[in-house]
Amino acid sequence: MPRCSWAEAPDLVAYHDEEWGRPVTDERGLFERLSLEAFQSGLSWSTILRKRGGFRRAFAGFDPEAVAGFGERDVERLLADTAIVRNRAKIDATIANARAIVGLREAGESLVELIWSFAPPPREPATDLGDLEPATPESRALARALKARGFRFVGPTTAYATMEAAGLVNDHLADCDVRAEVEAEQAAARRRLAATHGRR
């Protein structure tokens, strides 16, 4: 079936068809997407997908409270773990971000509501990958909001990649066979979130 041209290898095809752009509206899911997009910086997405199971094991299933409790011994363990990307700055950022998520809760905020508040209105689909920008005004604003709350390694490009991965935007190309299905799922998620949080 017609797909976005980046979905070539089997693991990328499965990710494209089943996950990319489909709404993620739970805290752990968003923490995982944000973390993996940060680890992907400078690497191929295929590398991250191959190590995804390792990341989940290493970071306690991306349970923010568990990761927030990681100390120096855990960092040393992670730096020795060949099942993940062993980058000290990204590991430290993931732990800091877990603590920031716990801080959001304590301040009466939620990661889900914060991230989804930056979802832009639906737009016309691109016909070519070259038409997609690596960052947008919304992703720049999201990056600023996350940094203001203590998040690290969340620049505008990482923020936008998270928005794509978590279904805040639909960057499946116009002729992609799953675009319409993803768009319907996104619209349903927006309605659910509006009902839950009392906003559009």
Which residues are known to be catalytic?
15, 37, 45
Element (H, E) at 8: none
For residues 187 and 169, is the Cβ–Cβ distance under 8 A? Answer: no
What gap in Å lies between CA 94 and CA 69, rounded to an integer? 12
Burial letters 42-62, b for 16+ CB under 10 A, else e? eeebeebbebbeebbebbbeb
What gap in Å lies between CA 56 and CA 51, rounded to an integer? 9
Give the amino acid at 55.
Answer: F
What gap in Å lies between CA 165 and CA 45, rounded to an integer? 11
For residues 158 and 143, is the Cβ–Cβ distance under 8 A? Answer: yes
For residues 90 and 98, is the Cβ–Cβ distance under 8 A? Answer: no
Angle (deg, nearest 10), helices 88-106 and 72-79: 140
